Amino acid sequence: MSLNLGKVGILALGSHEERHGAALPPDTDAKLASHVALEATKRTGAKFLGTLYSSYELPYIDTGHHQTLEQVLEELRVKLQTVKQIPGIEGVVLVNAHGGNKPLRDRIQELEQETSLRVIFNNKIIELEGPHAATGELSMGAVIGITDVSKIAEHSDFERYPEVGFVGLKEARKCYPWAERHAQEVERVGVRVDKFLGKKLLECAIIDVMNDIRKLETLSLRD
């Protein structure tokens, strides 16, 4: 049963031109974020606001084409200003599926002040998925139909696809302890597709977004 949460909008954030090995497309993050965002809107009655195109990446992580943090902020700022024109919208949940976008969280208060909208940055997909382009993403991708399971063996060629688990990204591994941990995990256990795991991760992410939607609606009712 749909909740009466029409005052909340959901915007998906994810990269569109990022290497994800042989078995996943360059816009994997955008597709995962959009899937979670759409499902959360279907279950709650919140409004789907689309998918941001630009994305940021941390220094020393070379996985594809990204924009500067200021460019991402500007696109997001313009999008939120447009959202203000939608009757009734008072808050927005940003559903992020690209790890490089995490610094946006530190600018949320600034965006709220500029737009007079309440904004929540939801990073649950990133918290759940584990190493880049590895088992978590492959499994979620398989559930929504974007993983090419025939290429899993090729996907595990870390010399050809160094971005998988960041195994071949030496500078990133030196700079970020978490990247080194992820790379070691992938080197130790490899990658696989597990649809049961993928469904579980997606469901956890969807529920977390739904909780943020309810949180925004509760804040609105208190005003």
The residue range of the domain holding 106 is 8-215
132-177 confidence digits (pLDDT tens):
999 999 999 999 999 999 999 999 999 999 999 999 999 999 999 9
Report the SS3 class of residue 91.
Answer: strand
Structural domain total, the chain: 1
Mean pLDDT for the chain?
Answer: 94
Say if CB 129 and CB 139 are below 8 A apart: no
Q: Closest by alpha carbon to 23, among 173, 196, 193, 194? A: 193
Q: What is the pLDDT of residue 5?
A: 54
Residue 1 in any domain: the answer is no
Whether the Cβ atoms of residue 191 and residue 134 lie closer than 8 Å to each other? yes
Rg over CA atoms, the chain: 18
DSSP codes, 2-63: --S-TTEEEEEE--SSB--TTTS-TTHHHHHHHHHHHHHHHHH-PEEEEEE---B--TT--S
For the chain, what percent of residues have pLDDT higher than 90? 91
Residues 6+ apart with CB under 8 A from 119: 80, 91, 92, 93, 94, 108, 111, 112
User: In whole angstroms, what is the distance from residue 20 CA to residue 28 CA?
Assistant: 7
41 vs 6, more confident: 41
Q: Is residue 197 part of a domain?
A: yes
Q: Is residue 156 part of a domain?
A: yes
- Reading the block at residue 103, the tokens are 């610094």
Residue 157 domain-assigned (yes or no): yes
**Spatial distance between the Cα atoms of 123 and 177, rounded to a whole number of angstroms:** 19
* pLDDT tens for each residue of 61-79: 999 999 999 999 999 999 9
Question: Is 42 among the domain residues?
Answer: yes
Q: What is the CATH number of the domain that holds 148?
A: 3.40.50.10310
Q: How many CB atoms lie within 10 A of CB 213?
A: 27
**Is 220 part of any domain?**
no
Total residue length of the chain: 223
pLDDT digits (tens, 9 = 90+) for 89-123: 999 999 999 999 999 999 999 999 999 999 999 99
The residue ranking higher by pLDDT, 3 or 22, is 22
- DSSP secondary structure string for all residues of 142-188: HHHT---GGGHHHHT-TTT-TTGGGTT-HHHHHH-HHHHHHHHHHHH
Question: Does a structural domain hold residue 2?
Answer: no
Location of structure tokens 């049963």: 1
Q: Is 71 within a domain?
A: yes
